[in-house]
Chain A
Amino acid sequence: MRPGFWHRVDKLARDLTPFALTFLLVIVNVIPYHVPGFARVAPALPLIGIYYWAVYRPDLMPAVAVFGIGIMNDFLSGMPAGVSALTFLAVQWTAIAQRRFFSGKAFAIVWFGFAIVAAGALALQWLAMSVIAGELLEARTLVYHFALTAAIFPLPAWLFTRWQQAFLVIE
């Protein structure tokens, strides 16, 4: 039986949510929190969304969407346009390439994988920014930035898992 019109609309709407949720992380990332010193080391939330959906539902997050989210992140966070897009694509590519390894593994392994991928992504970002600036940028704050990003991973990941169980069950 062919699924009806509303059924398809419903499915499309659900399938768009990984993109929408990751985009939401981009916005949440630029809200002012008024905590002294926080902005410089604030976790790179969109990385979490990109990685999570690349590992669990890559079919719902095409590379073009990742590129778009990267550009939005560059524009809103004031980074040179293209830098986040580049790193996000690299993250997705790495995560999908290692997907077979992650499938069925414990959450701790996926988390550990994220830490490695995030470290690589932030290093790539640092490199790109250094090339653009024409000098080696200070990397000390980057360590805290990375630590916070890796530490906060379980929270969005848990929310995404609940969302996935509720709305994105593969029929």
Chain B
Amino acid sequence: MNERQGSIKRFAAPIRTFAHRFAYVGLIVAATALILVGKMEPAAVDRARAQITDAVAPILDAISKPVEAVSRAVGEIKTVLELREENARLRQERDHLMEWQAVARRLETENKAMRDLLTFVPSSEVQSIAARVIGDAGGAFARTMILNAGSRDGVRKGQAVATGAGLVGRIQEVGNHSSRILLLTDLNSRVPVVMETSRVRGIAAGTNGEVLRLVLLPPNAVIEPGERVVTSGHGGALPVGLPVGIVVATKDGAIEVRPFVDPARLELVRILEFGLDGILDLPIVRVERKRRGER
């Protein structure tokens, strides 16, 4: 009996090894094929990704809450320790802002009077959806975050995501009750921008690092460090004038922009309902279709 088992084992071992190797080769081929499919048919992979993210979202939602509470508690302690300095700084800032308020009031009345004169068409009102960050994908290669709001809350692909401080990124894919933001800093992120004072237009491209790079600038454009960069609204994907960041360095032709929002600190964000579809969704085709429908 034992002898027979031994001979079976002797016979079966190479087959098992072969099957084992075959499984590896097969799976590696499958993984490579999947990468290629993702490159050629991104929509299909995005849909699968959204579904998986949807399924895991409740778990992430539950785990992220205590983590958030701890990080908030640490923040609270820090705040208490820095209360005096903070207070002094805020007083100073308030005085400064009061001056600005006076200027703003004057400009507002002036602006209103001029609009009345010109019968100006105001840009559409921006509404927003609030969402909580439940996932911050680690790793050096992709910069995305998962939110706990999805299509049932009215989130759509291409919408801008912002906080009070400025633009965070754009909605990359949407599940039923979760969605994913492509952060400004991701390598695949491209945002049309304009320099606030010099009005030079360009594209803020992500680098996977902490800063953005300004590309597609007009030749001979002069940009100084310290200039604020805001969205230009070109392409119809984003509202006009959302703060993006500040020019920090101009070295050997590359102009770097530091975003106003540090994604690491994000807990709550606003998803802006701008009324127009994002450029990711080919707005031109959509608009034509809508027009045809109207007729």
Q: A residues engaging B (CB < 8 A)?
A: 27-44, 62-64, 66-67, 70-72, 75-83, 85-86, 89-90, 93, 125-126, 128-129, 132-133, 137-138, 141-142, 145
Contact = CB atoms under 8 A, between A and B. Distances in A.
A123 to B, nearest CB: 12
B209 A141 contact: yes
B49 A77 contact: no
Residue from the set B146, B187, B264 with the largest chain A CB neighbour count within 10 Å = B264
A30 B137 contact: yes
Interface stretch (B24-32, B216-224, B240-248): B24-32
A76 B137 contact: yes
Interface in B101-146: 133-146
B138 A42 contact: yes
B140 A37 contact: no
14 contacts: A30-B136, A31-B63, A32-B133, A32-B145, A33-B71, A39-B139, A75-B53, A76-B137, A80-B39, A81-B35, A81-B37, A83-B35, A85-B31, A138-B208
A141 B140 CA distance: 6
A82 B144 CA distance: 17
A84 to B, nearest CB: 9
B254 interface: no
Given A32-B64, A77-B137, A81-B49, A27 B56 contact: yes
Given A27-B60, A82-B34, A34 B24 contact: no
B67 interface: yes
Interface residues of B, number: 54
A133 B48 CA distance: 21
Contacts, number: 164
Nearest to A26: B56
Interface in B49-74: 49, 52-53, 56, 59-60, 63-64, 67-68, 71
A64 B67 contact: no
B68 A78 contact: no
Contacts of B153: none
B180 interface: yes
Contacts of B96: none
B23 A64 contact: yes
Given A32-B64, A82-B38, A75 B48 contact: yes
Per CB-CB distance, the 7 closest pairs between chain A and chain B, nearest first, are A42-B138, A78-B144, A82-B34, A32-B136, A82-B35, A34-B71, A77-B137
B34 A30 contact: no
B263 interface: yes
B279 interface: no
